[in-house]
Chains A and B, each alone.
Chain A
Amino acid sequence: MSTQTTTEIPEAAAVPPPGAAPAKKVPQGHRRLLTRRDRLTLGLMATLPTILHVALVWVTALASIALAFTTWNGIGFDSIQWVGLQNFKELFTNNPQFWPAVEHNVIWFVALILVPTPLGLFLAVQLDKKIRFSRVYQTAFFLPVVMSMAVIGFVWQLVYNPDTGLINSIIGANKPGHYIDWIGDPDLNLWAVLVAASWRHTGYMMILYLAGLKGVDPSLREASALDGAGEWQTFKNVIFPTLRPTNTIVLVVTIIEALRCFDLVYVFNGGAQGTELLSILVTSNIIGESSRIGYGSAIAVVLLLISLVVIIPYLVSTFRKERRA
């Protein structure tokens, strides 16, 4: 895939799979050409950014793990107390919000992978044909991806508002007694906010798949058409299998997205009953009424473990490819 795209735009070749680019090894003798100053420069170039990144991202991630086994009120280091698994015990057995939050995060992922992802793939396949107004359509579907989740939350509030919103005004549910509370009702609000999330996710997936489809060899399609395969058969047997690298990335992006989702719900209803999420629980232990550092960290650790289950296999496969190249 990378070989045929390199000739066009260089950046297109870095499209998934990352690391597919040929990595030629520089001969070791090379290093003899480096002066002492060069080595110092190189050392600084590598260490300065690494120190910043490690200090703010990895040290804090490890600190989350450590703090999860303690209680701390945040005033002075002396008040840190080791409590073992206490926080986790309380979390798993005594927090009415925890299991709903886990469930909502899972629903979030399942919903995104079942609806907007195939829809984005469908749009990408259609728009990849040489079709008129393709760019206009693409712009419309992609527009939500550019906007912040916070703005999306506000825009959808205007749609869902029980009194003044678009939906209730149209179906006449904005009069007392007929209220449908899309934002507050715990049976409805998760689905309402998922519509907004899917609205954005579709365009994102469309763009990823469009990039993937550009890498599909056109002669494959021609050969399939010559063999008399229909459009659906060609897609199912020829195109979709070649999109495997894109599918991996789509899967990873969707899982990470489902674990990270915060802004949209926070703006929409503050994570009220029905829309609790792990990210919201962590945050409410910092900026909420109670600052329970150890307890919040225990939730963060759960989030970290779930993410690592996804991140590690993905990175291992990506970088193994790189090493082989």
Chain B
Amino acid sequence: MSTTTAATPVALKKRTPVRPARVVLHVVLASMALAWLAPLLWAVYAALRPYAETSEKGYVSLPDTLNLDNFINAFTQSDMTHYFMNTLVIAVPAVLLTLFLSSMVAFYVSRFDFRVNLFLLLVFTAGNLLPQQVIITPLYRMYLLIDLPGITMSGKLYDSALGLVLIHVAFQSGFCAFVLSNYMKMLPHELTEAALVDGASVWRLYWQITLPLCRPAMAALATLLSIWIYNDFFWALVLISTGENMPITSALNNLSGQYFTDPNLVAAGALLTAIPTLIVYFLLQRQFVSGLTLGANKG
């Protein structure tokens, strides 16, 4: 700070002088940011150190060895690939189906002024705001009662990927329908009117005219949904009974008892689970944030 204030008048003209208040602000923000990252950095640090060393020297100590052994062990011993695949099998269809169904509802309520549209939107939005635990008991029973021999491995909706896909779609489509209908309302009406007059079918209007215009909103929602569904813990915890069938986030709890026998392995396992979301976030930060603020009514 002192160096800048002592700078020549020429330099002062070129760049705005550093104000003390700004410096204080940066110090505050930087230390807070570091404090925010500290728990994660602590987990990374623990995961990089061998258990033998930390149990001997304590966790708050300088490292002798830093390596990726814990990550490798956590990944291979618990067969994490299998659980990542489980997640993929659930998340991809769930995201696509949610966007497909909710865009149809949004199209209907925003482009056609039928009397039910407000009510329909209300039903969808309110449903999405409910805590999951309000519906879980009957849902669990319902999933146990629905027999699907030959369709799912378990022969029921319970303990199947299909069951998880369905509840994700049903629950998340409320939020997406709300966001997309607000988005579609902003599209010029002349567009669809002209197409209708030209004799285009409703389906064409939806699929070829409206949807392409909604691409930014759909991209934001797809990012958001992927992360939410990936991060889901509750649905799978209750609706999946076989540990083997669990998606990665829910499996973590079982794995930590079975395979991740020391804190270093737990840290490595938890961080490995977080990696896909972090990648998506860093690549698509803009989409994620705009999706979140787009329909800020989400709990």
Contact = CB atoms under 8 A, between A and B. Distances in A.
Contacts of A131: 22, 25-26
B138 A50 contact: no
Interface stretch (A164-172, A176-184, A216-224, A235-243): A164-172
B207 to A, nearest CB: 10
A283 interface: yes
A278 interface: yes
B186 A64 contact: no
B202 to A, nearest CB: 4
Interface in A115-167: 123, 126-127, 131-133, 136-137, 139-144, 146-151, 154-159, 161, 164-166
B139 A158 contact: no
Interface string B54-84: 1000111000000000000000000000000
Given A199-B39, A293-B141, A148 B134 contact: no
Contact of B137 (A260, A286, A322): A286
Contacts of B102: 49
Contact of A15 (B30, B280, B293): B293
B52 interface: no
Interface residues of A, number: 122
A9 interface: yes
Nearest to A310: B129
Interface in B109-164: 109-113, 116, 118, 120-127, 129-142, 144
A183 to B, nearest CB: 13
Contacts of B293: 15-16, 207-208, 210-211
Contacts of A148: 230-233, 249, 273-274, 277
B270 interface: yes
Given A136-B33, A151-B274, A154-B266, A260 B216 contact: no
A155 B133 contact: no
Contacts of B42: 155, 158-159, 166
Interface residues of B, number: 117
A204 B130 CA distance: 19
B25 A126 contact: yes
B37 interface: yes
B259 interface: no
Contacts of A166: 39, 42, 59-60
Contacts of A307: 129-131, 134
A59 to B, nearest CB: 8
Nearest to B272: A151
A38 B144 CA distance: 38
Given A30-B112, A46-B120, A151-B274, 11 more contacts: A18-B295, A52-B166, A141-B36, A148-B277, A150-B253, A158-B263, A161-B263, A169-B59, A249-B297, A279-B133, A282-B133
Task: Enumerate the 6 nearest inter-chain pairs by beta-carbon distance, A residue then B residue, closest first.
Answer: A256-B299, A148-B231, A63-B138, A211-B293, A56-B170, A154-B270
